[in-house]
Structure 1
Amino acid sequence: MSGGFSLGFLTRVYQPRFDAKVYRETLELFRVAEELGFDSGWVAQHHFASEQGRLPSPLVLLSAIAQRTRRIRLGTAIIVLPQEPPLRLAEDAAVLDLLADGRVELGLGAGFDPDTFSAFGLNPEQRHGRYEDHLQRVHDALGNAALNDQGLQLRPAARGLGQRLWEATSRVEQVAARGNGLIMAPNPHLPIEAGVELVQRYRQGWRSDHLTAPRVVRVQAVFPEGGDDTALRQDIQAYVRRQQAIGVLDASLGGDLGAVLARLGVLHGSSTQIVEGLRRGPQLGVHDQLVVQVQTTSTPLREAIRALEILRQHIAPALGWRPGVAINRPLVEPVQA
């Protein structure tokens, strides 16, 4: 893993129950992360509290965060695009980007949870086709294309946001052909080397006529030692049972905590052990980001902040990251001709 990358964090806005506290604590986590020098913060969308995530409307929460921060980039990882009206999503994202002074990074994916698709009256087997249709519509809107025969265009115009689209998918050649960024995370069905190969395929598929450079967000769950291992074990076991119930993980996954974490690609241990684990993954450069997830369902805010402090002070610098990104500098910059 090379240096020069940007450092971010991902929160799934976990909480044992729904109340305003979870959103207030997420606001505080972003504020602290900005003070620590993190370059970006990302939120995940979860409908109907699937996987204990409490955020169905990420752009609403990011609007509040935008008013309490000045520098940190604001990302979605991810919005489940097949379940969204694409033009309404583009409109909301454009308004948010204005409020945030151009700091939005719009991450999209096809989703996988069959229960949420059925609640929306959708067939999960058709999600990839809907994703492609909706993505084209979003791309056209953010690119200021005419949206009907009368030539209506997105208003407010999304200046530059179309060049800050990210996709979470294994179909990396399509992502590269579209000129979008790639969001990737460990695949529990594949060895860690598969992630390296995935990123290589993405970079090789990049077209020279794109206006930006290829860019990768590497999402990695990281839990420095010193936290509550009992809560971590219980949360991971509950997560595994849920994934097994919906067919995402096979029923044979079990064993001790270390074996389960290794299978899921989660790094847990000393700072030195985590640095070694991160070095085994895809190489990251100046256009890329390491985005860490430091929370499970039961993680209190103080523990999440402690983990971010360790990442900032001991782990990321050992990999070549340095704080000090200029205010509002885009993580995706146009390629010079």
Structure 2
Amino acid sequence: MTPPARRFLPSPWTFLAHAAARTKRIRLATAITFLPLENPVRLAEDVSVVDILSGGRVEIGVGSGGSEAEYAAFGRDITRKRELTTEGLRILRSALAHIAGDVHRAALRFGERGAFPANLDIGEALRRFHAFYGHPDEIVAGLRQERVLPVATDLITQFDPAAADSDAAIRALELIATEIAPALGRRPVPQPEPQGV
């Protein structure tokens, strides 16, 4: 009997973004991401987005893989797999450290100018910037603590389209419209019926 062919999830971080939205406590991870077959900067961006959406529940395992067919499909030289893995891991670590620190560094600069207290941690930095992340229930709880919310006539939400891939961005908008806004008492504005010609 011929053994079944190995099959892998082709887009695990898109799947994990979806899982992040439907769970509260489980850790989210890939067993092994074949680093030589990935763009390490793009991977760092995807991992960071899922980590933010999940409230810090992401773990990532990386390895070199071993299938000649997979390497050939991505135009990679399997004889260089150790070298490619080492270099990819160096870039991935650097990119993850850069992305995670951007908000924190901005908050520290505000602190130096006296706009924020000095030496904020990353959680307090996000709060000061009114940036909410995590499960929709956590975001709703955070927004309910905003003192201006009871008197606000409009709730405008946004995200940086350069910081998330299109699947994560669409899912974020869906969650805002279907779970977060209704939980805060927001209702869609009725749209006029289209007029026939």
TM-score (structure 1 length as normaliser): 0.28
Q: Considering only CA atoms, is the larger Rg found in Structure 1 or Structure 2? A: 2
Which structure dedicates a bigger proportion of its chain to helix? 2
Which structure dedicates a bigger proportion of its chain to strand? 1
